[in-house]
Chain A
C-alpha cells in the first residue's frame, strides 16, 4: 500500500474506464441512433391511422419548403402511399400563436379531407393555449373529416367570429391561429393537388 502502486492502479483504472466507456459507446451508438429515428417517426406519424399507409413517409419528402400562405408558413411536406398509390399528404405548418410559433403536422387524405392534426411545437400558456399539445386531443379531433369547402370559408372560424368551431377555453388567439393554419393547409392542398399527389387519386 504505497504511493507508487496506488498511482499505477489509478492510471490502470482510468485506462480501463475510458476503454470500457468507449467500447460501450461504440457498440451501442448505431442501435441508439436507429431507435431514436424510430421514436421520432412514430411521434410525427401517430396522427395517421396505421392502415392508411405502408411506406416510410418521412423518407418521401414533397417539394414543399418555406411556402408562405395567408396566415401561416408551410415548412415541409411528406407523402404517405399505400400499395404505391398516394394516400395521405402530411404538411408541416408553422403559425404565430399568442406566445410564439406553433408548429403543426396536418394530414390530408387524397380526397382533400382532413385526417388529423397534431401539435409538434408550441410555447402557449400552460393550462390554456398549451392544451393544444395534449395528445390525443379532443379539440383538434373536431377538425377531422373537414375539407376546404366543407364548411365554406366563413365557417372556418371560431363561433365567436361567426364560424362553426369551438375554441380552446381561454385561448382565443391560439385557437384562431390553429384554425387559420389548418384552413391554409387545406386550401394549399386543394390548389396544388396535381403536383402533390398527381391526378390519379381524385375521385
Chain B
C-alpha cells in the first residue's frame, strides 16, 4: 500500500524544519496543510472513479495546484505578515498531495489518515513552540536551520528511548 514512504516523509521534513521557527508559523502551515488535504481528498474521491488511470495523475496535479494556490492567496489576504515566513513551504503542500495520492494515502482507513495528520501537526507545533521558547531564552541556534535539525534529532532520540523503555506499547 505504501510505495514510497521515504519520499513522503522527506517531503514533510522540509516544512518541519523550515516553517517551525515560531509556533504561529507552524500552526499556520499545518492549518493550510489540513485545508488543502481535506479539499483535495473530497475532490479526488469524486473524480477517481470517473477517470482512466493516466488521467488520474493529471487531475491530481491540477487539483493540488489549484487548491494550494487559492489557499495561499487566501492566507496572504488574511494576514500577509504571518504568511511570509511560510510562503516557500506552503507551495510544497501541492507536491505532498500528489505524493500522498500516489502512496494510496486517500484509500487508507480514515483513522490512519487522521492519525498521520495529527502526528504531523503535533510535531510541527511542538517543534515550533520549543524553538521559539529556546530562541527567546537566548539560545539563538534553536531558531536557525541547523538548530532545528538538532532539536528534531533530540526529539526522535527521546521518542525512541521512551518507546524502548515501554516495550508493551
Chain A interface residues toward B at CB < 8 A: 1-3, 5-7, 9-10, 13-14, 16-17, 20-21, 24-25, 27-28, 31-32, 35-36, 39
Q: Contact check, A21 vs B69: say whether CB atoms are below 8 A apart.
A: yes
Give the top 10 A-B pairs by smallest Cβ distance, nearest first.
A17-B66, A28-B77, A6-B55, A35-B80, A24-B73, A24-B70, A31-B77, A28-B73, A6-B52, A6-B51
**Using Cβ atoms and an 8 Å threshold, which residues of chain B touch A21?**
66, 69-70, 73
**Using Cβ atoms and an 8 Å threshold, which residues of chain B touch A31?**
77
- Number of chain B interface residues as a range: 20 to 34
**Using Cβ atoms and an 8 Å threshold, which residues of chain A touch B50?**
1, 5-6, 9
Instruction: Give complex CA distance A1, B47 in Å.
Output: 11
Instruction: Give complex CA distance A182, B63 in Å.
Output: 54
Q: Contact check, A14 vs B62: say whether CB atoms are below 8 A apart.
A: yes
Q: Contact check, B59 vs A13: say whether CB atoms are below 8 A apart.
A: yes
- CB nearest to B68 among chain A residues: A21
Smallest distance from the beta carbon of B48 to chain A beta carbons, Å? 10
- CB nearest to B76 among chain A residues: A32
Q: Within residues 53 to 105 of chain B, which ones have a CB less than 8 A from any CB in chain A?
A: 55, 58-59, 62-63, 65-66, 69-70, 73-74, 76-77, 79-81
Chain A CB within 8 A of B49 CB: yes
What would 15 more interface pairs be, CB under 8 Å, given A28-B73, A32-B77? A1-B49, A1-B52, A6-B50, A7-B55, A9-B55, A10-B62, A17-B66, A21-B70, A24-B73, A28-B74, A31-B77, A32-B76, A35-B79, A35-B80, A36-B80
